[in-house]
Amino acid sequence: MPLNQLWETLHNGVILNERIFNNLAEVQTEVTNLRKTYSGMARNGGGPNFSDAKVREAYALAYHPGHAHAYLQIMLNQGLGDSLIQGLGAQSSVGVLGAGAGAETLAFFSFFANRGFRPDGVTLSLIDQADWAVQRQQCCIAKVQEITGMLPKKIDSFIQDVVSPDALSLLSRFVPSNDLIFCPAIYTELEAKKKGHDFINDVCRLMKSQSKILVIDQAEVNGFAAACVEFAGIPQMRLIHQGNMTLRVPSPPAGSFASTVLDGVPYQNANGRIARTKYHFSWVLLQKN
């Protein structure tokens, strides 16, 4: 079962990547703080501060596995995965905007290999405004290798704020060079500053003919489900796939490091902590005419 394999692999041999925590309680505090940030994201006007290594670590441990599992579940069970890979050649280029630790990348290559394709012909390019190199290597790239037995033939990473004025030069090269573009869980962070909508429109404008874009995020956060309906009507873009799904996030395996950490972080809304026992995702997959 690809989902079970992904879940087990994600929790195998997980260690803290950076020597930044003195003890378990500090990790638990960081996960708690991240939950508080997410619960107030719309009100406070900003997402987590991923330039802080402790915040990246907390995300990689508490959120990345749930996202990867959810993305793979949607790809497998909603027909999204087959729509994503239809028409992709063995030498395709895949780009990710807001890649973080690479949950979508891991889910995509797991699906791709599950359908009998070889990741080692693919070129992968990742953009994020924070430097996720350490977490991404351990939680995505090494896991792609473990699950599929191979790696993309080329992996490029860029650190760039995609909505700053100087981003246009990179995006003008990056976007049209990819056959498939992922915008995974970045819209809701951008839209917290009212920049999500224009960003998706700008990316669509830069895309080359026949390339595809998947915009996927949490339905109920910052109006994302309604935004999907609007994205489906962007001029020159054809709607290939659209959906909503509520997903259960399994508990980390007993004895895993994540389980030890999360067992000590109570899921109490009264404390501003959101339980990540389930997600409600929406998505649109569009193709440029």
Ligand X SMILES: C[S@@+](CC[C@H](N)C(=O)[O-])C[C@H]1O[C@@H](n2cnc3c(N)ncnc32)[C@H](O)[C@@H]1O
Query: Minimum distance from CB of 116 to ligand X (Å)?
Result: 25
Which two structure tokens, joined as six digits, stand for 239? 């709607």
Query: Minimum distance from CB of 167 to ligand X (Å)?
Result: 7
Q: List Cα–Cα distances, 197 to 122, 153, 193, 259, 288, in angstroms.
A: 29, 33, 10, 37, 17
Task: Closer to ligand X by CB, 14 or 118: give it.
Answer: 14
Residue identified by tokens 């909503």 is: 244
With b for 16 or more beta-carbon neighbours within 10 A and e for fewer, the 212-251 pattern comes to bbbbbbbbebbbbbebbeebbebeebeebbbeebebebee
Q: Which of 6, 10, 75, 162 binds ligand X (CB under 6 A)?
A: 162
Stretch near ligand X under the rule CB under 6 A, chosen from 78-86, 185-193, 234-242, 260-268: 185-193
CA distance linking residue 42 with residue 92, whole number of Å: 36
Residue 288 DSSP SS3: strand
Under rule CB under 6 A, which residues in 75-134 are in contact with ligand X? 98-100, 103-104, 128-130
Q: Which of 7, 21, 50, 117 binds ligand X (CB under 6 A)?
A: 50
161 binds ligand X (CB under 6 A): yes
Give the DSSP H/E element, type plus range, for residue 68: helix 64-77
Count interface residues toward ligand X (CB under 6 A). Answer: 20
Q: Which of 62, 122, 175, 186 binds ligand X (CB under 6 A)?
A: 186
Query: Minimum distance from CB of 98 to ligand X (Å)?
Result: 3
The three-point CA angle 200-156-110 to 5° equals: 80
**Sites of contact with ligand X (CB under 6 A):** 47, 50, 64, 67, 98-100, 103-104, 128-130, 161-163, 184-186, 189-190
